[in-house]
Chains A and B, each alone.
Chain A
Amino acid sequence: MTRGCRHRMSGFRYRLAAGVVLLGLVGCQTVSVEEELTSLNRRMGPLPAALQASESASLAQDAQPRVAELLAAPLTQTGAVELVLIHSPAWQAMLSSGLASINEAQQAGRLSNPVFAYERMRSVDERELARMLSVGVLDILLWPQRRAQATALSEAARWQLADNAIKEITSVRNAWVSAVAAEQRLGYARDVLLSAEASAELARRMQAAGNFNRLAQIRQQLFESQARAELAAAEQERLARRESLIRHLGLDERQAAELRLPDTLPGLPAERITPERIAERVLTDRVDVALAEARFQAAARGEGLTRVTSLIDLEYTRRRDTVTQASGDVERISGGEWEIVLPIFDLGELRRGAASRRAIAAANDLQATLRAASSHLRESYAQYRNSLAVAELYLREVIPLRKQASEETLLRYNAMLIGVFELLADAREQRNLVMQSISAQEQFWLAEAGLQAAMLGQPVQGSVWRAGAATVSSEPGH
């Protein structure tokens, strides 16, 4: 979207014409969308697909084969991110409004256009033609400062866009993790119901045969009711998580129906993010620090400008009148006019104060961001490590142990030490523990996405740590 750069000179031979050309060149400094996207990509780190701003229908059209390809197989987490980049309208909206903000910031670096006034007066005996061209002189004088501020502002807008983009990508990654986990848990909730149904059915037959009293039968029936309610909750959870993912991906109804997810969350990564890798991250590479820095720069330059603009404004108007008498005499008058705002009622100290405080606030914001950055990193890293440890504990120890417990429980059933109801209760407990294990894996992947974002400088607010998933409950067998 390269903007045309032709400014017509209209044949006026004003001395300011040179200045106008200069201004036109200034306007040409707008960065292209491609360059903006490349810059965004650099700020965000490696992405599964190239960033594209689809402002034309053809781009969306071009992506269709790839979208279909991604949707044909169970969607991976990377695939989900790619789908967002090439397909999600919400993502495109975010991208476009980010680019708009950059444009708006750049706008501040432009000079106000000169004003041309044309006046035609007629009296009984004369006709007057006045042509005036006014230019904000202070604007021009302060142009280098304004340009610097605009650069800082647009830099801030760029970092803001990067920040939004990382946030969005993190949340699509999270949405994918939660959708897969909910899907996975649902299968086990169905198993729990299956076991409870078997218990309840046997209990009904036991009562019919006279082997159970009503209380014993009711107890088993209650397990079934409870399992049914839990399954309904698991189904709702699965639906809600899936729909959330669908919204993130921006799928239409047909695509939503097509969407398939993997059966399980990925295995825990063999390669771990080490504290060294965290330490390698340079603070100034971080989005939050860069954003605060750019905002500070903009505020500081704003303060400098305000120091002058709060006191004075200066405008020059070049005027040229042509007065034609009724006699036909033509009188030409030309001259200049200076317009100065007098700082009498408003000395501008409030504006200066505000600007100066904005600058101080921005400086402190930067300081705060810098200091919080390492704390956020520490927390995110701790969450990553601990949730990894818990997820590993479940996979390596709890689940195998629970499996052994179930095997032993079956042996005890075989040996007539326990009855079928205890065996079925054990099957339920085992499934519940597996569901807890899935939650622990989910927790880890959320923490992992959180850490990735935190390393880029988009700290997750609040804790993803859910105490429930870290608790290994339920005693095996009886």
Chain B
Amino acid sequence: MTSRRDLFRLAGVAGSALAGATVARSALAALPEPVIETSAETRPPLMPSAGRPYKPVVTLNGWTLPFRMRDGVKEFHLVAEPVVRELAPGFKANLWGYNGQSPGPTIEVVEGDKVRIFVTNRLPEITSVHWHGQRLPNGMDGVTGLNQPGIPSGKTYVYEFTARRPGTFMYHPHADEMVQMAMGMMGFWVTHPRNPHPLIDEVDRDFCFLLNSFDIDPGSFTPKIMTMLDFNIWAWNSRVYPAIDPLVVGYRDKVRIRVGNLTMTNHPIHLHGHEFLITGTDGGPTPKSTRFYEVTTDIAVGQMRQIEFLADEEGDWAFHCHKSHHTMNAMGHDVPTMIGVDQRDVAAKINRLIPDYMAMGEAGMEEMAEMEMPLPDNTIPMMTGYGPFGAVGMGGMFSAVKVRRGQKAHDYSDPGWFQHPAGTVAFEYDGTPPAAQRQPMKSTGSKTEQLVNVKRKPHSGGHHL
């Protein structure tokens, strides 16, 4: 049920050549054919087919949405729909996304471009798209009820505005957003500068991804949408380690990584082996005077950080959220600490009841990373992944920046593990370690200690039931 006004709009889109009797048909024909992505692989950068040239970005485990030019307007077609996203091999999720995947495709335009985005709603409820961070007419801002009616199921709405400001943006629904974002609806937007910009450097590699989180009960497929804080899947572009692709760069490449946070908590994103500058936020490029070197940047909820560095150290450099629980996959937060608890004889007893039981955790949990035990269906181990030196024992928001000599400019394929020059890997000391000199701590009888003692109840005597 297309309204009269919609028809006029679509007719306008299709051009004035369309005449009366064929309006409805031509209006449909005027919609750009939606492009659907079926894989969770990182697609190579999409070189612009028309319009002003720019250097495209690489979306980590994602892709850029092709556009078509019509009468000087860049047209995109986003389809909001249920999708099945592979979060990692053997671990799929029933999500909502755009054009076959969650997150949706990255939209790349150039500063000053006239942009028209068709949004078709194939969800069972209304949706809308908010263009996070953009300067645009208020009626294009996408807040359901406030700026526009919700897009009903089965309908296509059109957003039109000019990309006024270069920078890094996001898009996500502003209709039932708690549910729709918990289900994975979000996407990336990059507006490239029209002309060389004093605060926006040209780079050799330009990566982007969104931080997102889900609460998927191990063994199930659909996120629990009511979860507010206790998420168990910490993802980059709806992907978890070890299934997040490495960020492959050439030696001495200038690298930009744009990271947006659409989770419910902050993430201190940390890069090994290099210092980076924050060259931009969702507010635009940062003034040079504010830039200083860091190795970790905390990205708050709803924020965007754009970091830049010179990849001048070869190797496989870890790149991850510094909250160590965020570099794990699903785990039980109530699992008791078993460190220092001898379980062997008790385990034998338990085995009489549960033959497949294995004692774990006596010496920490690294053994988990190496154990391959049957897990619930559709579940990725809490600690997993292998490197050239054995188990990595990670999950969630973890990947690596692989810096290689001779990596060709447009080659993003995984070069394999770093070949370390001789004598540059930590090695085992083969002499006898000297006896540890340890000084036992003496009670100082300090005032604080006395205070604490006074407050403590005597442990012995007077047991009451």
Contacts and interface: CB of A to CB of B under 8 A. Distances in A.
B356 A419 contact: no
Given A194-B352, A410-B354, A423-B357, A212 B336 contact: yes
A191 interface: yes
Nearest to A205: B341
A415 B376 CA distance: 8
Nearest to B371: A414
Contact of A423 (B340, B354, B368, B375): B354
A188 to B, nearest CB: 11
A412 B337 contact: no
A102 B353 CA distance: 59
Contacts of A20: none
Interface residues on B, range: 35 or more
Contact of A201 (B334, B346, B360): B346
Of B350, B365, B371, most A-chain CB atoms within 10 Å: B350
Contacts of A316: none
A198 interface: yes
Nearest to B217: A417
B341 A417 contact: no
Contacts of A194: 349, 352-353
B368 A413 contact: no
Contact of B353 (A195, A414, A416, A419): A195
Nearest to A209: B340
B431 interface: no
Given A205-B342, A209-B340, A415 B382 contact: yes
A189 to B, nearest CB: 13
B341 A202 contact: yes
B459 to A, nearest CB: 10
A417 B331 contact: yes
B234 to A, nearest CB: 15
Nearest to B356: A410
Contacts of A415: 218, 330-331, 373, 375-376, 379, 381-382
A406 B219 CA distance: 14
Contacts of A424: 350, 353
A64 interface: no
Contacts of B343: 202, 205, 420
Nearest to A210: B340
Nearest to B335: A419
B346 A202 contact: yes
A64 to B, nearest CB: 42
Contacts of B461: none
Contact of A419 (B332, B339, B368): B332
Contacts of B357: 410, 413, 420, 423
A28 B346 CA distance: 78
B178 interface: no
A108 interface: no
B370 to A, nearest CB: 13
Contacts of A413: 357
Contact of B349 (A198, A206, A410, A414): A198
B332 A417 contact: yes
B209 to A, nearest CB: 26
A56 to B, nearest CB: 54
Nearest to B219: A408
Interface in A403-451: 406, 408, 410-421, 423-424, 427
Interface in B87-129: none
Question: Looking at A406, A413, A421, which has the most chain B CB atoms within 10 Å of its CB?
Answer: A413
A78 interface: no
A414 B375 CA distance: 6
A294 to B, nearest CB: 59
A433 to B, nearest CB: 14
A416 B335 contact: yes
A197 B375 contact: no
A416 B336 CA distance: 10
Contacts of B383: 416
Contact of A417 (B335, B339, B340, B358): B335
Nearest to B365: A416
Given A416-B368, A416-B382, A418-B335, A211 B340 contact: yes
Contact of B341 (A195, A209, A418, A427): A209
B353 A427 contact: yes
27 contacts: A191-B353, A201-B349, A202-B343, A205-B346, A206-B336, A209-B339, A211-B341, A408-B376, A411-B219, A411-B379, A412-B219, A412-B332, A413-B357, A414-B374, A415-B330, A415-B331, A416-B335, A416-B360, A416-B368, A417-B331, A417-B332, A417-B335, A417-B382, A419-B334, A419-B338, A420-B343, A420-B360
Interface of B: 218-219, 330-332, 334-343, 346, 349-350, 352-354, 356-360, 365, 368, 371, 373-376, 379, 381-383
Given A198-B353, A417-B335, A420-B350, 19 more contacts: A191-B353, A202-B341, A202-B343, A211-B336, A406-B354, A410-B354, A410-B357, A411-B219, A414-B358, A414-B371, A414-B373, A416-B335, A416-B368, A417-B376, A418-B335, A419-B334, A419-B335, A420-B336, A420-B338
Counting from the closest, the 10 A-B pairs by CB-CB distance are A209-B340, A414-B373, A417-B332, A419-B335, A411-B376, A415-B375, A419-B336, A416-B382, A205-B341, A427-B353
